[in-house]
């Protein structure tokens, strides 16, 4: 009886040892297989990484973890290290568990609901321009433009001479903003032209309405001080844009009026170009 018990116990021990050896061999084989394929480091997402989380925080809080993968199976652009060069970058969108951590998912700023990126310390202002006033289709995001304002010149006096001058309805054009950057461009007209005869009759009777029919939005970034000037001009005057070439400098004080447009004497005299300064 004792011999039978000893034999059974020995068999169980041998079976357990054999199982452990098999498991150890399988694990070792897996490791050797990975090693044979030149394993490299890649980060994977363990827990959801919310947008705005820095790489350093994602690592320290266990949201991402370094793992070893076969070189041949590592996706292009996957994160391989977190160091001083990238630890302050933030997740631009939420990143879900199970994903590889792609470097493209991290940037200097998290994506927001805003459709455009407004430069720091700047204000985005949209300007409605006609097709000629926006240099046809050549203005694109990233372009630098000069904005001109055309307005009526009015005398500030109350005498007969001033009244006579104002009756002339003299116009003048000034450089409103000498150099601003375009950050967005509306490719769809604000008001589509109508082919109806009624609308054509209305357009023939009003030059301003014909200009508005082909108006587009150009969004520029300006300083807070310039934004006040631009908003006032958008609501009061006719604006026109010019596309700046590389190195082009426009005189911010540039101006002209009906009197000197052909080289004559300025018609301003006692008048003041309304709001263009």
- Domain membership of residue 19 (yes or no) is no
Total domain count, the chain = 2
**Cβ-Cβ contacts under 8 Å for 237 (sequence gap 6 or more):** 149, 150, 151, 274, 275, 276
Q: Give the CATH number for residue 41.
A: 3.90.1210.10
Region 88-95: mean pLDDT is 87
- d(C-alpha 268, C-alpha 119), whole Å: 38
The pLDDT mean for the chain works out to 76
- 197-206, 211-220, 235-244, 262-271: segment of lowest average pLDDT: 197-206
Question: Which ranges in 82-216 belong to alpha helices (H)?
Answer: 160-167, 197-205, 207-212
Element containing residue 123 per DSSP (H, E): strand 123-129
- Domain membership of residue 59 (yes or no) is yes
Same domain, 132 and 257: yes
Give the domain range for residue 102.
34-113
pLDDT grade for 134, boundaries at 50, 70 and 90: low
pLDDT at 75: 75
Same domain, 164 and 220: yes
Same domain, 192 and 256: yes
Same domain, 133 and 227: yes
pTM metric for this prediction: 0.48
Same domain, 171 and 256: yes
Same domain, 205 and 230: yes
pLDDT digits (tens, 9 = 90+) for 96-133: 898 889 888 888 765 554 556 788 899 999 998 877 76
Region 246-267: mean pLDDT is 83
Same domain, 127 and 223: yes
- Domain membership of residue 103 (yes or no) is yes
Residue with the bigger pLDDT between 13 and 226: it is 226
Residue 171 has pLDDT above 80, yes or no: yes
- Burial string for 180-212 (b: 16+ CB within 10 Å, else e) reads bbbbbbeeeeeeeeeeeeeeeeebeeeeeeebe
Residue 191 has pLDDT above 50, yes or no: no
- Please identify, among 94, 113, 132, the residue that sits at the C-terminal boundary of a domain: 113
- Domain membership of residue 6 (yes or no) is no
| Local structure of 15: helix, strand or coil | helix
- Domain membership of residue 150 (yes or no) is yes
Region 9-24: mean pLDDT is 64
pLDDT digits (tens, 9 = 90+) for 27-50: 666 665 655 567 889 999 999 999
């Amino acid at each position: 009886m004792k011999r039978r018990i000893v034999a059974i116990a020995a068999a169980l021990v041998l079976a357990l040892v054999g199982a452990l050896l098999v498991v150890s061999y399988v694990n070792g084989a897996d490791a050797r297989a990975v090693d044979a394929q030149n394993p490299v480091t890649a980060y994977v997402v363990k827990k959801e990484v919310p947008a705005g989380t820095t790489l350093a925080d994602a690592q320290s809080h266990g949201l991402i973890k370094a793992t070893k993968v076969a070189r041949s199976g590592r996706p292009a652009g996957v994160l391989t290290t977190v160091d001083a060069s990238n630890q302050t970058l933030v997740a631009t969108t939420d990143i879900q568990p199970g994903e590889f951590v792609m470097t493209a998912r991290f940037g200097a700023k998290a994506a927001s609901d805003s459709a455009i990126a407004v430069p720091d310390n700047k204000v985005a202002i949209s300007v409605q321009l006609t097709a000629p006033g926006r240099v046809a289709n050549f203005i694109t995001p990233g372009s630098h433009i000069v904005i001109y304002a055309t307005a009526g010149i009015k005398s500030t006096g109350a005498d007969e001479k001033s009244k006579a001058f104002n009756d002339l309805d003299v116009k003048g054009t000034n450089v409103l903003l000498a150099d601003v950057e375009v950050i967005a461009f509306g490719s769809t007209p604000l008001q589509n032209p109508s082919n109806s005869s009624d609308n054509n009759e209305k357009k023939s009777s009003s030059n301003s309405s014909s200009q508005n029919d082909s108006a587009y939005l150009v969004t520029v970034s300006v300083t807070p001080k310039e934004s006040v000037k631009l908003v006032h001009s958008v609501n009061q005057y006719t604006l026109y844009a010019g596309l700046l070439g590389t190195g082009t400098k426009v005189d911010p004080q540039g101006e002209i009026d009906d009197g000197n447009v052909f080289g004559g004497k300025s018609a301003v005299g006692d008048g003041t170009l309304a709001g263009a300064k």
